[in-house]
Amino acid sequence: MLGLMQDWPLLVHKIIDHAAQNHGDREVVTRSVEGPIHRTNYREIAVRARKVAEALDRLGLKEGDRIATLAWNTWRHLETWYGITGMGGVYHTLNPRLFPDQLIYIANHAEDKVIFFDITFASLVEQIAPKLPKVELYIAMTDAAHLAEMTKKSGANIPNLVAYEEFIAGSSGTYEWKQLDEKAACGLCYTSGTTGNPKGVLYSHRSNMLHAMMCAQTDAQAVCSRDSILPVVPMFHANAWGLAFSAPMVGAKLVMPGPKLDGASVCELLTTERVTMTAAVPTVWLTALQYMDQNNISLPHLNRVMIGGSACPRSMIETFEKKYNVQVIHAWGMTEMSPLGTIGTLKHHVAELPHDKQMDYKVKQGHPVFGVEMKITDDDNNELPRDGKAFGRLKVRGPAIVKGYFRGEGTDAFDDDGWFDTGDVATIDSESYMTITDRSKDVIKSGGEWISSIEIENIAVGHPAVAEAAVIGVRHPKWDERPLLIVVKKPGAAVTREDILEYLKGKIAKWWMPDDVQFVADIPHTATGKIQKTTLREQFHAYRLPTAAE
């Protein structure tokens, strides 16, 4: 027997329609690429999204066509997403932090038909355009005057180029959204490609809608109509962690940072737009916190910050919570998970513990949100105990988790029961709090035991003279591998190898202690802000540990 409920397809454009009708005056504020602060609202966004859809439809684009965006977080970028999905297309976010050859590979693999781009990326688009035979039109996300100014200054020679405002000018704004199957594709995002070529994750309308609902839960992002939300995390980084959907779904104010993600610019928006919730990777907050400390800045309106992308150091959480009275929500997820997987909110009994004991839970990646099943296994796919001690391969499944990559690639990441192997090594405790100990390719295997590089890094960053830290395994004749700690000092700081090792004593197991410390000017990062350990391993390929002769 089937239920007698209405068939209401879970289509992404219903989010912006809901926001327009029920929260129409709620602001969307952007630090524009052109410079000035731009203000609009959900009602206007919805109309202009329909104009985008009508213009694309008029161009002859069809359901399932991939339409790329190479853009910052702005109101125009938001309009394109909803416009593209509403006419049946698939928005494809290109990450400008990738190398040109990677972008060329991704755009050709996706067979993009159109590229929307911000004028800050004009020279990049000019460089890759000759190698993108499938692209029929390039749309500069600006007006005709600024496009002319850009062309005059840079001399950018981009074929079939039109200004965004001109492109949508002939549209009425009354376009009727396409009636689609909720399982139809609506978004495409490629993995960063740290191993092999990037692989495409193809989101459906249904998965994006369910993910937005998952995000909006109180024990997840906890967003509501009273919030003012600043997604520092870019829309080209795993759907801006779902905030481009969950914020309008609940009618929250959106504050879009545009191209300026430096500490001063971020802090200005946090203050002037009375931001209550924000989200970014730890590297962004390292810069912002340094700026706040140097300029004696307070954040009177901010009450919570979501930090993910890589592990958040305990010292960063303590700084936010003790100095600025801002709750840190530690989160973990992947492009393949839309991306939210776990959230570090406190369960009822943990919330009653002393603050120092709560911190032991806050540094974990958190517990799964509804819609995410999770387990750890050994190399033979045997499930390991949830005791907080056993290390295993982290596997997940759920309605917003990939079941296969675009064009059938990467099949070895999936098992016969539908579980996706994340490539992370983790522990899960008896209360479902999960802790990432390493990527499987980064875990340090010493004397037959595993050492967590992430845990050592997070503790090392707590030293007052350390700006950033990374740990890699270096070959050792006796132990196979031993940890090498690589450190970036804070500006003007004076610290020695012995100081760092002394600081670590008693905080980690004795046999986890790094065999050496090396100081560097900077640590390389991937296009999504994670430490690029492949580059560090290449850099220290010939390095010999002082203990190797023992």
List the catalytic residues.
191, 336, 445, 450
197 to 193, 336, 410, 424: CA distances (angstroms): 5, 15, 10, 19
3-state secondary structure of 500: helix
Which amino acid belongs to residue 146?
A: H
Q: Are 413 and 421 contacting, i.e. CB atoms less than 8 angstroms apart? A: yes
Please spell the DSSP secondary structure of 261-302, one letter per residue.
Answer: -SHHHHHHHHHHTT--EEEE-HHHHHHHHHHHHHTT---SS-
Say if residue 194 is exposed, middle or buried (CB neighbours under 10 Å; 0-12, 13-18, 19+): middle
What the block records as the tokens of 68 is 């790329």
Identify the residue whose tokens are 């993600």. 261
Residue 393: CA count within 13 A, CB half-sphere? 18
Dihedral in degrees, nearest 10, Cα atoms 74, 198, 474, 379: 120
Three-class secondary structure assignment of 220-270: CCCCCCCCEEEECCCCCCHHHHHHHHHHHHHCCEEEECECCCCHHHHHHHH
Helices 205-216 and 243-250 pack at an angle, to 10 degrees, of: 70
**Furthest-apart CA pair in the chain: how many Å?**
77
